[in-house]
Structure 1
Amino acid sequence: MVSAEGFLHKYLRNLVMNLVGNENMKQKHIPKVEKMVCEHLQSWCGQASIELREAVAKMEFSFGAKILLSYSESKSSKNLKQAYGDFQHGLISFPLNIPGTAFWKCLQGRKKAVEIIKSILEERRAAPRKRQEKDFLDLVIEEIKKNGSLMTEAIALDLLFILVFAAFETTSIALTLAVKNVCEHPKVLEEFVSIYCHWRDSRN
């Protein structure tokens, strides 16, 4: 999707917007995000300290993988998060593809992640789910089945790999920096709390 241009880019963008467009965000995803955040905040309260960047990334990964692939780390024998971790750690490294180097581990991590996503795709195609609420993988499979569709398995795997990565990597960094900056400015924190309380009360 990063390198897609013209009509292909528009096609992939519209496909993604079917999942995360304004209406879907309001009706389905925002309530789920709110519930997820509250659950994680509650679990963090029982810890003496947390590594915020890693904790937020784990939270975001769980949510992103769930809405995209219906993947749950606790219910799967395939460690998708570890594969992405290997990919991420060597992403910005000298491009020396020799076993043992950071770049080699990065490529191996990507390969493993794509293999896991492919196995999930194949399992879903072999045994389609019958339920009203679909995840992004369901939409992708429907596109692959259409005659004359631009969607191929190779494009689908690349798209799913990128979207899962984007779901936790970019947002976790942004949220960590936001929390850091807010904590360093108590007056801003007070204002945020006031805005949130007003918003919460207006919903009731």
Structure 2
Amino acid sequence: MLAEPTDFPPECQRDYSVQCSKSFFPVSTQCWAKPSYSGPCERKQRGMAQMSDEQKESWSIACEDNYPCLPEQCPRGTDWERTCPAGWRHVSGGLCVAPADFDQCDAKVQFAAFSLQDKHAFAQKCGVRWPCRRLSCARDYSSVCPEYWHDEGDSICHANPNIYTGPCPMYANLTGFDNELKENFEIVCFVAWPCASLCERDFSAKCPLAWRLLCPWMYG
């Protein structure tokens, strides 16, 4: 008889920057259950967008549904403004406590005075990461198609087959869809429209952001 394994891969660091857990999808500030969810909680969860990481972790345990693992690259960048590394608990005044299985550096660290460079150095030295920037946002329904769907023209949207796993066909004709119909499409098909931009772009500027205007004689 084969012996039972004694070593298991460590639990992954969960990504609480996303609004909903694996078996739920976002609808405004709520999370609605997919058909696959069989846990004990209500199928419509309100106020999820406002929850802290600690609240989401507690909710995840109570509702028996994990959040996804922290991705190798955060889609919207790392949130270095957060006080504690991902998975650490903020006690008070910048003091953070590591998970019980953390043993690479001190398990209690005062991060209040840490600069961005200090956090980078600590992350590299101690093998930790800071959380991803949160993904919940106001949706931009001016786009013809949902996120990860391709606009084929004439309001025909094609889902990315490598990403979309929802219940709707891979092609959808969204001709005449206003914001309300698009919101309904999100609910029925488990999709989301792109996030609205946080600012108006100034296209009167001569150069893109972070580019420098050179004198004409420098480039002929």
More strand by percentage: 2
TM above 0.5, one fold?
no
Higher normalized contact order (CA 8 Å, seq sep 6+, divided by chain length):
1
For the pair shown, the structure with the greater C-alpha radius of gyration is: 2
More helix by percentage: 1
TM-score (norm 1): 0.24
